[in-house]
Amino acid sequence: MILVYVDHDRGEIDPISLQAISAATALDPDVQAVIVGHGGKDLAGEIAAFGATAVHAGHHADLLDFTPRAHARAVHSLIEKTSPRAVLAGGTPRGNEVLSHVAALMDAPFASECVSIVLTGADSADIVRARWAGNMLEEAVVLAPVLIASVQAHSFAAVAAAAPLSLAEFDVPLAEGDVLVRVEDRVGSSAGGVGLAEAKVVVSGGRGMDGPDAFSMLEDIAGVLGGAVGCSRVVTSAGWRPHAEQVGQTGTKVAPDLYIACGISGATQHIAGCKSSKTLIAINTDAQAPIMGFADYVVVDNVHTFLPLLIEKLKSAN
């Protein structure tokens, strides 16, 4: 049996968790999921639709928002009850954090960002995982009775494989200190629209946008195409856009049908976040910018000159 930790944010499942469930079903048809926190049980049907044979929903009065150590405690309690061969999660910041705590509780190794997993024996597994922002693939053998691993975002497709819904609720057995680190409050709110991780079109801006005001052009393009706005790390560091919009190794990894990079040079960390895009268009004044080598189509022009023309054409076409 494979146990999968499902990452959700206030009742919305992270799509990468569904990819982890599909990755698990390729290893063992018996895949059970664990989801923790307020509203988790309401997502059981969605989880079962991707092949989970059972959904364990953990709850506790102190778990109103993300609490990593407590979530890990819930996963660990189920490991002791169900004796899975492996425990997987999506390679999201939260998924990796929770499994890191699980590994610490078990004094076991943790393999993050796996792109391939093969269970080779009762206590061994061959894995391939992405390192150095995906520029290197590491082959390793993990020796442990229970493999603890996260799957790299977009390395496995989320495939619908409906299973009969089996829901079991349980109380999370918290220990002293499990809730010391937790989300207490959130400042600001989403403006709505398509989320970055699931957007089919992402329009991103970098240093070449020359300031926050120019991002209104990217919002116009995203609005017409039904997409989301993204940005590079330098943009969030400058305070032009929120970190939630950052694409890259330390931001969100995306895999849209279309990625439009505007004024982005293409540092390794950014490419790690967008290289799974089906089509990448780069707009930059520098024809030798690193991102141009990854792009399917390039436009050598100033974004302040080119984007208004693009917006005009897009709006007239609609």
Q: Looking at the domain assignment, is residue 83 inside a domain?
A: yes
- For residues 207 and 111, membership in a common domain is answered with no
**Beta strands, E only, the chain:** 2-5, 8-9, 12-13, 31-36, 54-59, 86-90, 111-121, 124-131, 136-143, 147-151, 167-171, 201-205, 228-231, 258-262, 279-284, 297-300
Which pLDDT does position 178 carry in this prediction? 95
Q: Looking at the domain assignment, is residue 64 inside a domain?
A: yes
- For residues 156 and 38, membership in a common domain is answered with yes
Q: 281: domain range? A: 201-317
Q: How is residue 133 annotated by DSSP?
A: T
318 confidence band (pLDDT: 50, 70, 90): confident
The domain tally of the chain equals 2
Q: Looking at the domain assignment, is residue 252 inside a domain?
A: yes
Q: Looking at the domain assignment, is residue 184 inside a domain?
A: no
pLDDT, tens digit (0-9, with 9 covering 90-100), for 51-80: 999 999 999 999 989 999 999 999 999 999
- CATH assignment at residue 83: 3.40.50.620
- For residues 232 and 304, membership in a common domain is answered with yes
Q: Looking at the domain assignment, is residue 227 inside a domain?
A: yes
What is the arithmetic mean of pLDDT over 311-317?
94
- For residues 69 and 218, membership in a common domain is answered with no
What is the arithmetic mean of pLDDT over 215-238?
96
| Dihedral of alpha carbons 49, 275, 116, 134, sign | negative
- For residues 6 and 87, membership in a common domain is answered with yes
Place of tokens 């999968």: 4
Average pLDDT, the chain: 93
Which pLDDT does position 123 carry in this prediction? 95
- For residues 137 and 27, membership in a common domain is answered with yes
Residue 289 has pLDDT above 70, yes or no: yes
Q: Looking at the domain assignment, is residue 187 inside a domain?
A: no
Higher pLDDT, 187 or 137: 137
Residue 191 has pLDDT above 70, yes or no: no
- What is the percent of the chain with per-residue pLDDT over 90, rounded to a whole number? 83
pLDDT, tens digit (0-9, with 9 covering 90-100), for 235-247: 999 999 999 899 9
Residue 192 has pLDDT above 70, yes or no: no
Which pLDDT does position 193 carry in this prediction? 60
What is the arithmetic mean of pLDDT over 185-190?
65
- For residues 140 and 96, membership in a common domain is answered with yes
- For residues 115 and 163, membership in a common domain is answered with yes
Q: Looking at the domain assignment, is residue 270 inside a domain?
A: yes
pLDDT, tens digit (0-9, with 9 covering 90-100), for 81-101: 999 999 999 999 899 999 999
What is the arithmetic mean of pLDDT over 165-169?
94
Q: What are the residue ranges of helices labelled H in the chain? A: 15-25, 44-48, 68-82, 93-106, 215-225, 233-237, 268-274, 303-317
Q: How is residue 247 annotated by DSSP?
A: B
- For residues 208 and 283, membership in a common domain is answered with yes
Which pLDDT does position 135 carry in this prediction? 75
